[in-house]
Structures are given as structure tokens and as C-alpha cells.
Structure 1
Amino acid sequence: MRRGKLMLTSFLRGGDFQSPFSETSTENRRHVKNPSLIDPTMRRIWMLVLACISVTLASPSSGAEVDARLSSGQAYVNDSIDLQITIEDAETYEPPKIPTVDGLTIESAGVPRRSSQTTIINGRMSSRQSVTLVYEITPTRPGTFEIPPMEVSVDGRLVKTSPLGFVASVSETGDLMLVEIVGKQDRVYVGEPLELTLKIWVRPYRDETLDRLLSEGEMWQMLSDRTSWGPFEPAMTDMAQQRKRPGGENVVRKTPEGESKGYYLYEIDTTIYPNKPGKIDASNVLIAMNYPLELRIEKRRSMFDEAFGGQFGSPFGDRFDSAMSSRLVVAATRPIAATAEVDQTQVVPIPREGRPASFQGAVGRYEMIAKTDLRRVSAGDPITLQLGVSGDGPLDSVQAPPLDHLREKFRIDGQPLAGFIQNGVKYFTTTIRPIDETVDSIPSIEMSFFDPKTETFETIQTEPIAIKVEEAERLAMDSIVGPEDRSESTTSSDEPLAVSSPSSLQDWSPFRWLLANESGPVVLQNQQRGSLKGIVWLVYGLPLVIGLIATLVRHRGHLPLMFQRLRPAKQFAANQLGDVSTPNEIPAILQTYVQRSFGLRPDVDWHRCLGVLRSHGYSDKAAELESLAHRCHNTATTTINENDQRRSLIDDAQQWLETIAAAQSNNRFVFKRRQASSHELGSALGTVRRSVAPMALFALASWNLMPNLWAATSVVLLDEAQQATVLNEADQAYHAASQWKSQGDVGRARTSYLDAAKRYQMLIDSGIDNGAIHKNLGNVYFQVDQLGRSVAHYRIAQTFTPWDVRNQANLIIAQARLGLGFRHWFMPLAWLVVGGLLWWLGWWRLAGSRKDSGRRWWLSALMLVVSIGCCIVTLDQVEPRSGLAISVVDTLELRGGDGESFGVVNELAGVEGRSFVIGQQRGDWCLIEGTTSQSGWARRDDLVPI
């Protein structure tokens, strides 16, 4: 440094200072006749260059720095402050070991925060990088605490932080906030509705310096996330969904000392049903708030400062500029919390004296009705009995009335009745079977409840239901019975009809085999939608794979590196580590392992690989890998014990490889392939465009139409027992209709078919969605010649079970009976079978033509070309399309708008069973998108969505 200063001083003075680094020796100077003839300007330039080099070589290199600090020196019990450890300009680092301090809970606040800063001063660029580790410190008791020094490993050396101290105190709530729960009744029974009101009094905060009083809305925003609402949680959730909050009212309340003070009063109402006697339990209600201590005016740069650098201000004046570039913020807070005090509302038990045997715990006043689906049956036939209970009490707690007295004349389903609530009525459904023909009615069913207003037990009962039971001629008690008269009249057929078992319907006729419905538990199980894509690629790709494998086996001696890369990532990396000759090769091998094991592209750089490790929860492994790479780089520049150090680094790399592989195998999550540009702006905008934008546009277009759409959708809530009962009835109706049809009674067969369709549709409306039930419904509509609906449900079933041969055959038959053009036929499985056979046969003939030159190779090529065309058609038909619907009418009227008031713009004839793309839905109308002549609004009832 001193030598450089002397050179610089000599240059500034214009002297003839001779640098010791100059290559001009005494011998060379002898050839210069007159040294004074050398250009003094050139001499000064060389002197300046040498001075800069000397100063640069003499200046010491800067090392990494570690700084630890607390976010505040004052803390409150159970409220956290931040400990920040900042590491600057470090190549590698290891997180410190956090000490254990009595009375403190210290936890990591997440992944480290990284930042970089680049500055250019007088054309000289410098950059600084820093990593900040954040920890949350929560005191559990008051007192003075000290965090001892912590050791941080930075670039291979240990750096100690300074000790840090702070004081924790208890934040007294005092009279700043009061909480009370008030019941509107002084005395209620268990199960009786009780209306409660949560009252929160909060002292408004006034900043004397700024002379600013916070409003009731601003004080409400200070509520903490630690708040627990208890039984008022549903009310708060409803408010949040409606973007509302309790309104604060200015009130005056006396403190316990008798002083009157102003408060903001917030009230929240709810209704509960106490389930045990005693006092109302409000232990789970805790209101927490970050009460303000100081306000501050925070200035921010306005748009004019950003545009003009803050030199000209706002063109609208200083007052406008001040209002637009400043805001009021809460500078300091302290936590306060208050538990709720409950008034003297008492919950008393229901009296035991005078309880009827039919009492099941219902409190309130109720009404009950009973109805059946049949009035005329044969002995042993199932009768669906449904009970409906309504009243002013809690329907959730109402249990099914006892039915034991019915066992004298009926066989009752032994499964418990769960019940479901719909439109303010709770329904219980079960199946009963009359034992013999002597049964003439369903007796009254009793239900008892306790009326809290009169404090007495009351019993209600249904009216007896008259039925007619006939003797079963060929019916076993446990067999499934057939045609029933679904009307409530007592008249029926002249004689009962016994239905054959389902197996008897499966005779030699292929047509009956195709239209046989599925039955059993599989029909009641939801199913994921399937696709033929995998089978398509298997059928068409397997011959190519077989040929490729044969080629690789034949030329396996020429592809050793390819077979090595086919090994698992860990084995491939371990083999490469065994062949390492210099330490510089180790980081690249481990980088390749990270790329392969996490599904990254080969061009992903080193820093992105470290980021992927940290994002998957391997921050410690990323730090170890970074430290190992740094040591490999430093070792490569030395020659001391090179072989020993290389061996040690290889051992460390293999150990890191073992630990990261073990950690990955224990992780339950499967790491999917991530694109290297997933965090870039283009990918983010693409994701928004594909997901958020369509949802937002749909919500904006149908905001006012949602009530109409929901009103047109009928949702039936059925439990598992009820679903099984409805399925059994649907199967019985279908088999009975088939029997009626075989005997020539077309009218009864059609009625029974439609009854089966209604029950299958009821199961679909209850949430069951699978290929079997839609195929059953398609078979029903096929039997009654509603071929458009049949095609629709066959195609829906195709989306669940695309490999179902019977469903595909039924769909082809239905489309053919409709007279649809061949180009409108939907038969991906048929295309796949034809194309697959031609594809395999073509390759087989082509492979044989190499041995037999007499074969016609052009026939094989023609087969392959035709099979490729079949593959294209198959992929086009199996590709899922959104907004697809099938027309169920032969003539589809298209109007100019969504209503009868708009004129008919076009009539599409002969379109039953054809598919259309639906763009929008408005109430009972939907927009068909297509060509100009095939666009318009059609009725939703004329279309069935796929």
C-alpha cells in the first residue's frame, strides 16, 4: 500500500520515479542515449497503471460478516418477537445451533430470506449478497432474558454473535376490553334453543400527538388471529363470506371503579342447543387484540416522484401531494386478551317423570306424517315407508320413531334410520314387507316430544295406511319381486305377476345380453372418469417398443453410456463418483443427481438446484451441498495432500448422496416434474390465464343467474341404506318391465321402465356418478325408444368405462337406430380395435417381408396408413371436451336470446343424439356455439350435458 502511494505521489508531482516492477534494467538503459527524451506523458500513464496494480495487490480481501439483532427490546408474554441473523458475502454457511433458554420458545420462522445488491459508483461495480435467518422468540413468563452468543459457520470458519437481551412483561388488559355473553332466556331445558349475544366493549384509542381517534372499524381490524369465537364461529364465518363485520356503537359504560368511560360496543348473535344441564360453558371464547400504542404518519413516494425523481412535486399542489403521499399507520401495539363472562342463564334437565316409551329426546313441538309408495302388493313384496318430521325444534337431534310394534305383521329392514333434512323436514325411509295376505293396514306410528313452553310430554301419531296384500303364488319370501302399481289407488291388475330372477333374462339372445343392467354395490360407488389414451398408446406403441428393444439388444455393445443413464439416479451418481479424478468434478455429478431425482431439465443451473432442495424441505442438505462444492473448489487450487483431500471429498459426497436418498425415500410426497421456468412471469401469467381467468369470467357472466341455475337443479340427499333401497326398487321395476314386455303388455312395460328411469335418476341426483348407473339408465331409455337420452347416458358411461364393450355396442346400435350420419357416430373403442388389429398385422407383415421378398410390402404400408387414421379418430373422440351436450329432441329450436320473447332463428331437424358445444347457460336456456346457421339459444330440457 505504501509503495502504491509513493508511485501515485510521484506521478502527481511529475517526478521520475522508477518502479521496482519496471522491466527496464540498467543494461537496457545503456541503449537510451538521453533518458530525458522519453515522452513524459507516456511515462506518467505507465506510472499510474503500475500504481493501481500495487494498490490492488496491497488491499486486503473483505470477509463475510454476521450480524444478529432483535426486532424489539420489549416483549410481552405469549407474544413473539423476531431474532434476525444476517450473513453477508458468504460463499457457504451453516445455520447456528439455537440455544435453549428457560422461559423462551425459539422456533424457525420459515426458509431463509436472500437478497442481493449491486451498486455502480464512478463506473466501478460492486455487489453484496446476504442471507437472513429469522426465528420467532415467544416468552412464556415475564422477566429479563439474554440469548447467549451463537456460533455460525461461514466459509469454513466460526463466527460468534453478540449476546442479545430483552425484557418480557405481562400485558394487562384492564378496562381496555370487556367481553360478556348474554342469554335472552333465564332458564332453558336441554335441547331447547337458546339465543345468545356476544358483547365486546373496546376502548377507542386516541393519539394525543396527532390528535387522531381511531374509528370503530379501525379498532375492529386490530383483532388478533389468536381470537377464538367458540359457538359464535358459524356466525362470524357467515359474515366473512358476505364481506361483513359487526358494527360498533358508541356507548358509555361504568368501570368497576365506578368511572364512566366511552367504548365501542360490538354485538354478535347466535343460537345454540345446550346438550347438558348447568351453566353455559364459554371457556372456548377468547377475544384477543393488538391494542395500539402509537400512530405515525408514513410518507410514501407518489406517482410524480416515481416519474420525475421527486424534483418537481405534484402538479396539483402541495396539499394534494401531501394527502396522496402519506398514510396513517399503527407504529406500536401490545397484546391484550379477555375471556367471556356468562350471565346466569341456567340449563335444566328434561324431567324423567312422565316420559313416554316413544320419547327419543326431541325438544320442541313437532308434526309427523307417513306415506308409502304402494297400496296393493303381494305377500313379501317390499313397501317403501317414509316418515316426515317437521317442527320448531332442532331437526338434527331428532331420531327416528320406534317401529318395533310393526314386527308383528311386517318384516322390517334392520338397518338404523339415519334420516336426511330437506326444506325444513327430516325424512326417514325404510323398507317393510307384509308377512302374509291377512295384513290390511300399516298401523299408526307414534313419536313423543317434550314441549318446553308447557313443560309437558306430548305424543303424536300418524294415520293408519290401508293396504291390500294378496297371496304370492310363485314368490319366495326373500326373492326380488316385480311389477307394482305405483299409484295410491287400491285397484291393480287382475292377477299378480311373478317376476323371474335376473339370470333368467340372460337367455341365448345377444340383444338381451347387451341390455342387461348392472346390479350390486358397484352401482352405488362413485367412479373416476377414465380414458382410452393409455390403451391407445399401449396398442400402437408396443410394436415399436418391441422393435426398439430388439434393436438395442442386437447393438447393446455400442451403447454402454445409454445403459448407464438408464440406471437409477443414485446408482448413476455413485458410479460416477468412483471415477472422479479431480475435486472439481464432484459438484457437477451431484448437480446431475438433483436434476434427475427431482425431475428437472438438464439445463437447470446450480443455484436453481439448490433452490429446489430448499423448497422441498431439504434446506440443511442444500447448505451441506453448497459447503461441499466450495471445499471442492478451494481444494482444486492447492497441491498439498491432493490425493487424500480428493478421497475425503469423495467420501463426503457419497455420504451426502446416501442421506439425501434416504430422506427422499421416507418422504410420503411424490415429487413431480417441474419446469425450470415455473417461477418466471410468463408461466405465472399462463397459470392465471388457464385457471383463474376462466373462473372469474364465468362468475362475472353468471353472477345474477346462479339462483336460477340452482333452482333448476334437484338435489336428493340419501344415505347408504336409502340408496340401496332405491337401487333395489329400480332393478325390480326394470326386470318387471322386461317381463311385461315379453308377455306383450307394452303399456305396463313402458310405465315400469319409466319408473325405473326415475329411480336411477334419483340415485344420480343424490351424488352417485359412475359408468354402471349411466349405462343402466341408457338401457332403460333404449327400451322406451327415447334414443336421444339413451345415447347421452351411454356417452356419459363411456367417459367412466371407455373399455366397456357392451356399452360401446349399445351406443353404436342406438346411433344406428336414430339414423345419424356415420360421421356423427361416437365409437372410440371400435376405432381402437380396428386400428389396433391393422397396426399389429401391418408390422407383422412388414417384418416378414424382410425374409420373404415375394410378399407385397405395399399392402402392409396401406394397413399401417389406415391404422394411423383410426388412431387419429380415436384420439379425437377420447379427448375430453368441456361444455358438450346431447340433443334429446329430433327438432331443436334455436332462438336469438334466452327467452320465449326472442324469435326462432333456426330449426335443426334430425339432431336427436347429436352432440353440441354449449357456451353459456342462463336460467332454463343455454347457448349453442357452432357455425352461423347452428348457433342460438336452446332450452336446457332439450339437451343432456356430458
Structure 2
Amino acid sequence: MKKIRFSALLVMFTWISFASGQDLDFRASAREVVSVGDQFRLIYSINGQASGFRAPVIKDFSVLAGPSQSTSTSMQIINNQVSRSVEYSFTYILQATNEGTFTIPPASVNVDGKAYQSNPVTIKVVKGSAPASPGAQQQTQPQGGEITAKDLFVRASVNKSNPYQGEQVIITYKIYTRVPVAEYSITRAPSTAGFWSQDLIKDNTKLNQYRETVDGSEYVVAEIKKEALFAQKSGNLTIEPLEMDVVAQIQRKASRRGFNDPFFDSFFNDSFLGSTYQNVRKTLRSNQLNINVRPLPSANRPSEFTGAVGNFSISSSIDREQLKANEALTLKFTITGKGNIKLVEKPNLVFPSDFEVYDPRITDNIAASQAGVSGSRTFEYLVIPRNPGDFTIKSSRFAFFDIESGTYKTLNSPDFRIKVEKGTGNEANVVAGSSNKEDFKYIGTDIRFIKTSPLKLRPVNSYFLSHPLFPLWLAIPPVLLAAFMLIWRNELRKRNNLALMRNRKATRVARKRLKAAEHFLKQKNQDAFWAEVSNALWGYISDKFNIPGSTLSMDSVNQALKNKNVNEDLITQFISALNNCEFARFAPGDKSQVMDKLYREAIEVITNTEQHLK
């Protein structure tokens, strides 16, 4: 019997000749009328081998699943000649959300290097239960029942169920399936109250998949979520379940009349001839996790311990060991390792009292991978010695709890010796015989000397109220008050006119900046000098003509001066001063001569402009 079946199959494949020259048909189909909330299929089918399917933008319906691709094959025997045609289909599961008539644009595919478009699909969405349109495709249920908990489930696991407080714990959520999964979405993230968490999976489109046997059944497993947790308190802590929606694909077996032979049933259900699948939505819920967090031991706990738990190392460095007073140096303190590094606090560094220390800038270089959280945290201190002398930044101690040994460990940074020379800036006054700043308390005289000057005596019972000028003095306060109110109201009116106030103060502000530039010129402080001269020139134009700083440019300066009828030579001189200010700092040669020349040029151009505008 088997030989007969094999011979029949061999003859059949010998007779097969692929249909050629047939007209290509790429069409879209769906139900014409649906109700709000209904789920229905949108199917794109083409009678040829297609590639590069490009779906349209579906705006008016919710896309629940798809596109899922399937293949169907039909055979026809005419005059002992077997012709075979293949039809490819791309199926969406849509849901109607709003009433109305909507049109889904065409899709496109490539066949033998040519692009083809399907027809658009118009669907009417109505209230209530919509009648099925003729020829509409009905959604079928999978044969053999629904998906059971043994076919598809999600499970949460943790690598440590009894960690120390602050210890890194990795929790993994895996989906186990024996059926194809088209898509999934997490509808409720697990609650992690009492933990600080860090997501370890950055790209959810590339899941770690493998096979695993559970209770004698083999499953395809995918890690859908992975987190590193750090307990912030001890005790029994609970992690609530994760909830998610999954769209699974179930093979639909269609009955064939006239064929009861299991050989033919197996043959026509083979993947070579294509299979039909149905999408089924299922809600999954993971198990709850209970974690018993142990408190850190109190015995032998160092005073420097601030909560670091893991395995760490430290390093520290300074950018200079010799400098002048009022100059700055940078000290970097870096903690590297694996654990709750993002929660590590700044070290307790002790600096000399003569040093001015700013709050550190914290830089994190932390990586989250499948193995957990690791990296480094750097504390960068800006330190300014205010007085000359030889100083020492003492060693700093960093303590952490080592998980592997279950003990506290302390690391020490090296000492740094700093030599500070007398600077040229404004150092603080130093008392002779002392190298440190001291706080002084002024004590006033406690003995009052006898007065030796002549005393001024006045008659008894002599009062100012009886003086002839008393009425005049009595009238002076109201007059002064009225004059003050008039002057104040006039001043308020002027101050409300911001443009007028800026115009009046433009020259004064520019001179103040030029005076500061002169001070930096004498000190040969180039950067500060260029900044003040530039602010003086641009600020004068901005205030004088009420031009916002964001719109200041060479063109706006030129136009503003022309509007005030300033002569061309003076405009050219002002523009030249602005250009010189921008490029002089980068010019080669003696910077002192360039700075002095630009300073005089700025004074001259502002003075000439002010005189012309008056």
C-alpha cells in the first residue's frame, strides 16, 4: 500500500507544471460593515510569489495583530496535465473603534522586480450588532479548544531570594510557549516598592530566546523583562505579579470532504502547501515573588560606611601639585565596581582650612547589562588655595560591604602634598609670624576720657516750641513730602519706559565695562579683557537702540546707526571696532599692543557715537 501511495505521489509531481502567463491579481478584502468594538480580518492576497510587502498606514482602526503571512496552493488536472498555482496572503486583525465610513489605502508588493498595488478597502462602522455582508470572511475559532496554561505562561524568577540590604538582585520575567506568538505587550508592570530598580534590557526587539524543558514538555523561552533591584530596607518584601497581553497563532485545520486517508491529510497540511493560522489574544499573569532582605551586620561597621554594597575599588588624582595662591586645582575621586554604585555618596575628604572647596561635580559611567549593574562614579572637586604655604590633603577612607566575604572592607586614598606660592592676585592679608588666615575680633575702648572742650549751656525752661521759626519748621515736612511724591511719580513714569532707561544708562554702563577692561589690561588678563571690551561695544548698541541681544549682528548695528543719521565714517569705525574685538584675540604677535590699541579704539568710537547722537 505504501509503495502505491509513493508511486502516485511521484507521478503527481512529475505531471506538475507551474502555471505561466497568468494575470497577476493583488487584492485586499475585508467585511464591508462592522460594529464598534468588532474584530475582523483585513487580508491582502496575491497569486504569485511576492516580496517587499509594504503595508498602508491604518489610522482609523486598532491593529491587534499582523501582518501574518500564509501560503495556499491549488492544483488542477486537465488532460493528464497538472497545473499548480500559489497564493500568498498577508492578514491583519483589526478592531473598529469609531462610527463612520473609512477607507484603508492600498498596499504594495514587489513581484519579479515590479511594484504592484492592491485596491483600497472601504469599511462602514455602525453601532450595535452589524449584519454580515455577503461574502464576508468570518473569524473562525481554533479547533481543539483554547490555549491552556500549559501551552503559554509567564514566570518570574530571582537569582537571590535572601539578599543583604543594598545587594544587587536580578529578577527575570520569561514567557514559555508551545505555540507561535505574534506579539505581546506588558499591561501592568510589577510593583517594586522598597527597591531601587534598573532595567537591564535596552532593546526589547531583540529578545534572548532559547529552549527549556519544564515538567517533561519542551518550550520556547524568551526573556521579556530583566531588572536589577537594590533593597532600600530589610524585611520581607513582595514584588507584585506582571500582567501582559499576548497574541498567539493557532493552526486552523479545515475539513476536506471526500478525503479520509491520513496520508492525504498529512500531505495537504504540510507546510509546503501552506497552513492557515488564527490569532488568539490571551492575558497572562506571572507569579508573585517574596524576598527576605537581611539587614547589614552592625558588628565591625566602619564609621566611614555610607551604604555601598558590592565589590569596589577606588582611585584618586590631582592635576597639579604646585601652584600659586588663588589658582585652582582639580581633585578626582573615582569609585569603580559592581553593585549599588549609583547610590554611593561622596567621600568625606578633609581639606586644609586655607583651601576654598566647591561642591563636587558627579560623573557616572554606569553600564546595565544582562549580568547586572557595574561601572564607575567620579567626584570632581574644584579647590582654590587662598594663601601660600605647604599643605597636605589627607588620605580619605572609603568603606563598603563585600558580598562575597560577608564583611566590611575599607580602602584608603593616598595623601597629596600641595605647594602653594605667593600669587599676584588679591591674596588675603597674612599676619606676621603666621602662615594661616586667622579670625580677628575687634575690641572697642572700655575707658571714656574726660571731656576737656568748652560746654554749651542753655537756659532752663527754654523750648523749641516757643521759637518764632517753629511754624515754618512745622510746614517744611508736608512741602517736602509733596515734592518727594511728585519727583517719585515722575521717576516711576521714566522707569516704566524700559527703552528710555536703557538708553540713558547705555553710556554709563559702557564706561563701567571699559574701566573694568582697563583693570584687566594692566593685569594682562587677556580673556577677561576681551570679554569686557566686547560686552562694552555690543552692550552699548543693545541699550542705546533697544535691540535684544538675540538679534544683535553686524547688520543690525549698521542699520541702527543709519536710522539715527550717523555718518558713514563713524559707522565704519564702529563696525571695524566690533570686528577687531572678535578677531584680535586670535591674531598672532604681541597681545599687549593689540589689547592697548583695541581699548583706545573702543573708548574713541563710543565717545564719538555718543557725541553725534546728542
TM-score when scaled to structure 2? 0.44
The structure richer in strand per residue is 2
TM-score with structure 1 setting the length = 0.30
